[in-house]
Amino acid sequence: MALLGFAGNPWFETVAEAQRRARKRLPRSVYMALVAGSERGITVDDNTAAYGELGFAPHVAGLHGERDLSTTIMGQPLSMPVMISPTGVQAVHPEGEVAVARAAAARGITMGLSSFASKSIEEVCAVSNQTFFQMYWVGTRDVLVQRMERARAAGAVGLIMTLDWSFSQGRDWGSPPIPEKVDLKAAVKFGPEVALRPKWLWDFASTGKLPDLSTPNLTPPGGTAPTFFGAYGEWMGTPLPTWEDVAWLREQWGGPFMLKGVMRVDDAHRAVDAGVTAISVSNHGGNNLDGTPAPIRALPAIAEAVGHEVEIVTDGGIRRGSDVVKALSLGAKATMIGRAYLWGLSANGQAGVENVLDILRSGIDSAVLGLGQRSVRDLSPSDVVIPPGFPRVLGTKNSVRVVEAVRDAG
Ligand SMILES: Cc1cc2nc3c(=O)[nH]c(=O)nc-3n(C[C@H](O)[C@H](O)[C@H](O)COP(=O)(O)O)c2cc1C
């Protein structure tokens, strides 16, 4: 199969290759906005590195000729334990989240649409009947309900509330400049880097549209879509949510509800008390509070604590099917992906996202085969090799005791 990867063939063999192509295709500022990470990049690096630390304990005979990769999350069937995580990313591809949603639908998985996305919930629900709408705590309660009801009316089948954003600023390698809107001033400023990426420009130019940096899912009734920065300003000015607010939003929605960004056992218990359907053990792909450990390290303790009460998914650092299998072995029911599909979208639009999903599917199948399991639902910690010191138990009495013991020993 690798022979097919000759120059000019849009098919790629790994997510790493999709990323290389994205780097070549996208203007530098757009590419760096996807690389993201915050501050020193400790967390973004740990997210991928942690998967590399885990090993497998394979069998060699008695393997299963047919494997079942399917599962369900928040009442939705998934053909494999992978979901599209919401990303508020603009200007990657003219079809943006609609292309991602088409790919997700074609491969039988759910689509998470960010409230900061470049395409509207109506456009996305028109091509995927398994769309979850993602909201941050932005605006008044009335405004939140209005946006949520709009998503419901469009056909969203679940709500994701993301709460782990801490407005961290500054990357040691430099944040990319992002224009307020694409106008003449921006064209002059970004002209040189865009000129180096004619294929990207042509993709947009051939649709007759320039990249649109507005947020159509935050449009007030009868108004116009705020710019990305306008919406970000509203967010920064909104009082921070409490656990009562989480329970309130969950109640307003009334249907399947995921809390995304949980890293601690005590917060997982609070999320259960707030009545959530699912938790995503996540650190926002390392874009947030730098120094937060990789979610896969925090997953086992959270799964053990609340896995019998709510569905547990995880995201952050997943680049191959074997990563998905490791996450399931440590207690997740499914995984969410961010950059992996963004690289596919950048490299080859909808077909590129499908390519990424196919890579993940075959990687999951291969690992499940090697581990001698019949179904992804049979995976357990005994399928993986966990090095000493790998797990991080955050937010339990036990973790406090460990810190005290270290302090006392010092
Ligand atoms: C460029 C970028 C934008 C993101 N925007 C959002 C967002 O709008 N809402 C959200 O809940 N998460 C957002 N995330 C986090 C992702 O949903 C997901 O948690 C993360 O990308 C997973 O890590 P991975 O990229 O290593 O797969 C974003 C991530 C990236 C990389």
* 42-53 helix and 295-306 helix, angle to the nearest 10 degrees: 70
Contact of 314 with 357, CB cutoff 8 Å: no
Site of tokens 């998914």: 313
- Per-residue pLDDT tens over the stretch 84-120: 999 997 789 999 999 999 999 999 999 999 999 999 9
Say if residue 222's pLDDT is above 70: yes
Q: How far away, in angstroms, is 29 Cα from ligand 1 center?
A: 17
Regarding the beta carbon of 392 and ligand 1, being less than 6 Å apart is answered: no
Residue 36, ligand 1, Cβ within 6 A: yes
Rounded to an integer, the average pLDDT of 150-164 is 98
Nearest atom in ligand 1 to 35's CA: 31
Choose one of 287, 346, 356, 360 to mutate for the ligand 1 pocket test, by most ligand atoms within 8 angstroms of C-beta: 287
State mean pLDDT over 314-320: 98
Instruction: Tell whether the model's pLDDT for residue 300 goes beyond 90.
Output: yes
What average pLDDT score do residues 220-230 get? Answer: 94
Please state, in angstroms and rounded to a whole number, the distance separating the CA atoms of residues 192 and 197.
Answer: 9
Q: Which domains does the chain have, with CATH numbers?
A: 9-174+214-409 (3.20.20.70)
Burial class (CB in 10 A: 0-12, 13-18, 19+), 242: exposed
Instruction: Provide the mean pLDDT of the chain.
Output: 93
Q: Is the CB of 85 under 6 A from ligand 1?
A: yes
pLDDT band at 404 (very low <50, low <70, confident <90, very high): low
pLDDT of residue 402: 59
In the predicted structure, residue 2 carries a pLDDT above the cut 50: no
**pLDDT per residue over 118-149, tens digit each?**
999 999 999 999 999 999 999 999 999 999 99
Burial label for 118, CB within 10 Å (0-12, 13-18, 19+), is buried
Q: Where are the beta strands (DSSP E) in 121-194?
A: 131-135, 158-162
Distance 284 CA to ligand 1 centre (A): 5
CA distance 148 to 172: 37
Cα four-point dihedral sign 326, 19, 134, 151: negative
The ligand 1 atom nearest the CA atom of 316: 23
Q: Using the predicted structure, report yes or no on whether residue 163 has a pLDDT greater than 90.
A: yes
**247-274 residue pLDDT tens:** 999 999 999 999 999 999 999 999 999 9
Closest residue by CA, ligand 1 atom 30: 87
Average pLDDT over residues 234-250: 97
CA–CA dist 275, 259 (Å, integer): 10
Q: Is the CB of 287 under 6 A from ligand 1?
A: yes
- CA-nearest residue for atom 1, ligand 1, is 34
pLDDT tens digit string along 37-57? Answer: 999 999 999 999 999 999 999
pLDDT score for 409: 60
The reply to whether ligand 1 has any atom less than 6 angstroms from the CB of 47 is yes
Please tell me the distance from the alpha carbon of residue 119 to that of residue 207, in angstroms, as a whole number.
Answer: 15
- Given a cut of 60, is residue 4 above it in pLDDT? no
Give the ligand 1 atom nearest the CA of 318: 27
| Greater model confidence, 361 or 202 | 361
Task: Tell me: pLDDT of 184 over 80.
Answer: no
Provide the whole-model pTM: 0.95
- Atom number, ligand 1, closest to the C-alpha of residue 116: 8
- Averaged pLDDT for residues 275-281: 98
Pick left, alpha or beta for residue 201 (phi over 0 → left; psi -120 to 50 → alpha; otherwise beta): alpha
Residue 311 has a pLDDT of 98
